[in-house]
Amino acid sequence: MNGAASGGEPASGGPHTQGGDPSGYPIAQRIPQEVLDAEAGRLAALAKAPAHKRIGGYARLAGPGFMGAALTLGAGTLTSSMLSGATFGYRTLWLIWLACGLGLFMMAAMARFTCKGGFRVIQVQNRRHSWLIGSLLTALVGTAVVAVIFNFGQVALGTHLIESLAPFAGFSFPAEYNWVLYVGVTSWLILSYGRRGGTGTRLVEGVMKAAIALMIVAFGAVLVVVGVDWGAAARGAFVPWLPGGGQGLDLFIASSAAAVGVMDWVFFHYAGLGRGWGRNHESLARFDLFAGLFIPFVVVNFLVIGVFAATLFPQGITPESAPELAAALMPLLGPTWSQILFYVGFLAVPITTTVAMSLAGAMAIHEAFGWEPDTASWRWKISALLPQVAFLAAWNANPVWLVIFIAAFLSLANNVVGWSMYLLLNDRRVLGEDRSKSYLWNLGILLQVTLLNAIAITYIFNRLGLW
Interface residues with other proteins (CB under 8 A) are: 245-246, 249, 415, 419, 422-423, 426-429, 435-440, 442-443, 446-447, 449-450, 453-454, 457-458, 461, 466-467
Of residues 143 and 415, the one with the C-beta less far from other proteins: 415
Of residues 281 and 435, the one with the C-beta less far from other proteins: 435
| Rounded Cα–Cα distance for residues 409 and 429 (Å) | 30
* Contact of 161 with 389, CB cutoff 8 Å: no
| Rounded Cα–Cα distance for residues 265 and 418 (Å) | 10
Minimum gap (Å) between residue 130 Cβ and other proteins = 12
Of residues 369 and 461, the one with the C-beta less far from other proteins: 461
| Rounded Cα–Cα distance for residues 383 and 184 (Å) | 16
| Rounded Cα–Cα distance for residues 432 and 124 (Å) | 14
Of residues 199 and 426, the one with the C-beta less far from other proteins: 426
Of residues 129 and 209, the one with the C-beta less far from other proteins: 129
Q: How many CB atoms lie within 10 A of CB 101?
A: 17
Of residues 111 and 424, the one with the C-beta less far from other proteins: 424
Minimum gap (Å) between residue 440 Cβ and other proteins = 8
* Contact of 103 with 295, CB cutoff 8 Å: no
Minimum gap (Å) between residue 380 Cβ and other proteins = 35
Q: Residue 169: which residues within 8 A CB-CB, separation 6 or more?
A: none
Of residues 173 and 419, the one with the C-beta less far from other proteins: 419
Minimum gap (Å) between residue 431 Cβ and other proteins = 10
Return the half-sphere exposure (C-beta side, CA atoms, 13 A cut-off) of residue 390: 36
Minimum gap (Å) between residue 428 Cβ and other proteins = 6
Minimum gap (Å) between residue 249 Cβ and other proteins = 7
Minimum gap (Å) between residue 98 Cβ and other proteins = 17
Residue 411 CA, chain-centre distance (Å), reads 18
Of residues 69 and 449, the one with the C-beta less far from other proteins: 449
**Letter for the amino acid at 335?**
P
Minimum gap (Å) between residue 109 Cβ and other proteins = 13
Q: How many CB atoms lie within 10 A of CB 236?
A: 25
Q: Which helix (H) or strand (E) holds 360?
A: helix 336-369
Of residues 72 and 138, the one with the C-beta less far from other proteins: 138
| Rounded Cα–Cα distance for residues 30 and 251 (Å) | 44
Q: Residue 247: which residues within 8 A CB-CB, separation 6 or more?
A: none
Minimum gap (Å) between residue 454 Cβ and other proteins = 6
Minimum gap (Å) between residue 185 Cβ and other proteins = 43
| Rounded Cα–Cα distance for residues 435 and 419 (Å) | 15
* Contact of 265 with 110, CB cutoff 8 Å: yes
* Contact of 267 with 51, CB cutoff 8 Å: no
Minimum gap (Å) between residue 438 Cβ and other proteins = 6
Of residues 144 and 445, the one with the C-beta less far from other proteins: 445
Of residues 182 and 422, the one with the C-beta less far from other proteins: 422
* Contact of 344 with 214, CB cutoff 8 Å: yes
Phi-psi sector, 324: left (phi>0), alpha (psi -120 to 50), beta: alpha
Minimum gap (Å) between residue 168 Cβ and other proteins = 48
Alpha helices in 227-329 (DSSP H): 230-238, 245-258, 262-274, 282-287, 295-310, 312-315, 322-329
Cα–Cα distances in angstroms (integers) from residue 87 to residues 80, 90, 230, 308, in the given order = 10, 9, 18, 9
Radius of gyration of the chain (CA): 21
* Contact of 424 with 124, CB cutoff 8 Å: yes
Of residues 59 and 408, the one with the C-beta less far from other proteins: 408
CA dihedral 299, 301, 303, 305 (to 10 degrees): -150
